[in-house]
Amino acid sequence: MLYGRSAEISALDEVIARARDGSGGAALLRGEAGAGKTALLDAAATRAGAMRVLRATGVEPESDLAFAALHQLLWPVTGSLDALPKPQRDAVRAALGLATGGDGDRYLLAAGVLSLLAEAAVPAGLLCVVDDFQWVDRASADALLFAARRLGTERVAMLFAVRGDAPVKGVPLTVDVGGLPGSAAAEMLKSRYGVRPGVARELVTLTRANPLALSEIAARLTPAQLAGRAPLPDPLPGGARLFGDRVAALSAPARLLALVAATDAELDVALRATDRLSAGQPLPPGENTEHTEGRIGPTALAELEGSGLAQLAGTRVRFRHPLVRAAVHEAATPAEVRRVHAVLAELTEGDGRAWHLAGAATGPDEHVAAELVAAAERARDRGGYGTAATALARAAELTPEPHARATRLKDAAVAAWLGGRPGQAESLLAEARDLAGAHAGLAMEIAQLRGRFELNSGNAAEAVRILAAGDSLDMLADAAEAASYVGDPAAIIALGRRAAAHPEGFLRDTVAGIGLTLDGDAAGPGLLRRALARVGELGEAAEYLWAAAAASHLGEADLASEMVDRAGRVARVSGMTGQLPVVLEFVATAERLAGRLANSQAVSEEGLELAREAGYENTVAAHLANLAVLAALRGEEETCERQAREALAIAVPHRVGLRAGVAAYALALRELCLGRHARAHDRFTAIAAAGPGAGHPTVVWRTAPDRVEAAVGAGDEAGARAALEAYERSSAHAATPEAHALLARCRGLTESSEEAFGEALRLHTNPFEAARTALLLGERLRRAQRPGEARAHLRTAWETFERAGAGPWARRAQAELRAAGESGRAQPAVLDALTPQELRIAGLVADGLSSKQIAARLFLSPRTVEYHLYKIYPKLGIGSRTELARLVVLQKAPVTEGDML
């Protein structure tokens, strides 16, 4: 029976009830040792009713073994693996040791864990209980927390218990488990031990009502002390350790078994190790000294169980409480612990053997270090980057030779970074740099990593400084990328000149071509064209992003969007581990520029969540800035302001001018969308004047049509012409129709030329931009008393803006249309009823993907995809995938291949 825990039980019951009804969620129980977290988890499991229950417990000796906890939790449901999408299935099978290999994609693995839990929840729901989460291995913890944050449509509840202040990111509900209420503690003491009220009050004060402390102390008091006839002992029995005297009371063999089990909880291994370690030691009274092999362990186990300190849980020895294990270790000398590890290393293999060898080591040992490196590689291949980082860091400690030690620290830093732990990565890399010494090659590798880390989460200008010190093409390219984030044309030009000295190739031509083009060198555009001619040879997501950069510097935003689209596809299919949030920055932007606002919203929301999980601060700013622009287009003033300010709070001090520029653009666009042209003009002028780190030339170029429109609306004809002239210079080498269409629209604005607007409408390939041009032309025709000619343009604009969700422009077009005499109402786009996530799923269905394929693409479970389809059909009044695909195709405005996702 639990005393005084009605509030905690109620909170857990609510999580379980919601999961049972199809709205999954997670909760974290947090409290000090002995507070009763395990008892609450046990109660929750009992109250789960018909729901399936999976359990795992973090064990400190296994906290460095990749996927140990995941194996413990998921092993009973591995029969459901065949229901998963193949990429997810392969990742989970590799993590659980059911298959070899794996591509190390932690996102695929985590999505696979989510899918497997969803399958295991059929038919009555699933409760996952994970105790002592502070000791769950990092690889398992990452995958489980990824799933816990995405349970909204699953019939799955996840409950975690963690001791003290151990960090656990992203679990939506925290239940603090403190001491018992005084009355409940007194009731428990009276019911179980016959403690009188006055004594109970004193015990509650001395123990802060910790349930374990109360029980352990009360069990050791004399009847007189319990009744208050004798004073309580000072100090109280057990003190802070609680279990120390009970461990000390065990016989030598039982204490030895306890120490072995505290180091490796597998029963068979523990018994064999105890027998081997006991050779030559006295046996308990009554035991025959002959044939001792295999007899010490069972006898010691019986004593250990009889003491109440431990029990068998399947094939494992489970201590009554983690503090028992602590007491066992405190009672042993360091030499005894090393001896236990040495024997366990003889009896185990694989990762366990490597860690036991490390535990037995008394100093640097290359053999042991190599074993840990092999364990790290196995963990890395399965996506366990956090575990790999720990193993490599320990291997470095044991490595005698300084250069090899520095190399392993560098590799540990990479693993930590890919595992979403930038702080640990930077610490490890700093240690590696100190050791690299005169090894120039290694020093350059470390410098390149420092620059990449700085670019993703730190000061982009510092990243340029670090990376520009290298001479390799890769480092020069990374430096140019960092300079492009800063918005520093001078640095990009200098780096491009240096890259030009390298042999011809796609990357060299791109980096050199961008620099030369910015410098006004006539050779630059030719190099960029030559690089883009090699697009058919590309295969990596990063290469397609460079191709997008090449297209952008030629002034061809539509081709750049196509290259970004390809990068996004490759990143999702191949698992660009650790860099997907960065790739999604550009995918979201491309979707927005193409007018697919709902898709852009969904991509940025996904990217923002992944970036926050990975610790990529500058990518967080990128997605916030894009979301702010989308909010501006929808007319959501407060949301736009908040998200833009959050983005600026990261981007400005980090000198990420590209993202600061986009956030500033969001605030300017908000004013333009709402017809406040003078305020918009002021903001666009400030964007154009902003220097490196606060603004960006690409932002100035991309937003030039908006700047021209704002200037014309504000009555600044000279400012509009100046903006147009700058836009013409930056687009001088553009060859795509859309680039020429935008230039024609700007000329139409500055020259009040219907012919220029007409030319723009003929050239547009982007339907959203075509709608903006149609609106501007329709307005002019209506005000020129030609309403009949205006209506067709205004109607097209209205329907497109409605379909895109651009509320302010849709209302503006609607008002103009009514003023032009349009009496009817445009047919609303039926897909408007869908959420961004539902719209993305609908689009992938229209592309012919199955639920499993969609799940793999979007890192969802197949059941989540089916859940969304179940909601989509009634919203749209349809009943099949075929009808949905047909509807999506009919609702899509005609776009070019480069505009499609």
- What was the pLDDT predicted at 828? 55
The CATH class of 831-899 is mainly alpha
Residue appearing with tokens 């007319």: 635
CA 447 – CA 436 distance, rounded (Å): 11
Number of Cβ within a 10 Å radius of residue 708: 26
DSSP collapsed to 3 states, 694-739 = CECHHHHHHCHHHHHHHHHHCCCHHHHHHHHHHHHHHCCCCCCHHH
Rounded to whole angstroms, how far apart are CA atoms 653 and 646?
12
Helix extents (H) in 319-397: 322-330, 334-347, 350-360, 366-381, 385-397
Per DSSP, helices labelled H in 506-596 are 506-518, 523-532, 541-553, 557-574, 580-593
**Alpha carbon of residue 644 to chain centroid:** 21
Amino acid at the residue 759: E
- Going by CATH, does the domain composed of 6-176 fall within 3.40.50.300? yes
Q: Return the number of other C-beta atoms located less than 10 Å from residue 105's C-beta.
A: 23
What is the distance, to the nearest Å, from the Cα of residue 611 to the centroid of all Cα atoms in its chain?
5
Reading the block at residue 746, the tokens are 């700007």
- pLDDT block averages, 10 residues each, the chain of length 901: 93 96 95 93 96 94 90 95 91 89 76 94 96 94 92 94 87 93 94 93 90 90 91 69 83 93 88 84 45 67 92 86 82 92 93 94 96 94 88 96 95 88 88 88 93 92 95 95 94 96 96 94 95 93 93 87 87 63 90 85 90 89 97 94 97 96 97 94 95 89 94 95 92 87 95 94 92 94 91 92 87 90 62 80 88 85 90 88 83 36 23
* Residue 339: closest CA among 319, 316, 356, 355: 356
Instruction: Please tell me the distance from the alpha carbon of residue 189 to that of residue 382, in angstroms, as a whole number.
Output: 49
Cβ neighbours of 819 (radius 10 Å)? 14
pLDDT value for 860? 84
Number of helices (H), then strands (E), belonging to the chain: the values are 47, 7
Q: What letter represents residue 573's amino acid?
A: V
Handedness of CA 201, 205, 211, 215 (dihedral sign): negative
Ordered by start, the domain boundaries in the chain are 6-176, 182-240, 246-284+292-450, 831-899
Q: Which of 374, 381, 385 is nearest to 351 (CA)?
A: 374
Q: Which residues contact 65 (CB under 8 A, 6 or more apart)?
A: 137, 351, 352, 355, 387
Q: Of all helices (H) and strands (E), which one includes residue 162?
A: strand 156-163
The closest of 535, 536, 533, 491 to 514, measured between CA atoms, is 491
Q: Which residue has the tokens 């932007």?
A: 589
616: alpha, beta or left? (left if phi > 0; alpha if psi -120 to 50): beta
What is the C-alpha separation between 98 and 67, in angstroms, rounded? 12
- Write down the pLDDT at residue 295: 67
Parallel/antiparallel/unpaired status of strands 316-319 and 310-313: antiparallel
What does the pLDDT read at residue 238?
A: 56
Q: At what angle do helices 657-673 and 677-689 cross, to 10 degrees?
A: 170
Give the predicted TM-score (pTM) of the model: 0.81
pLDDT value, residue 290: 43
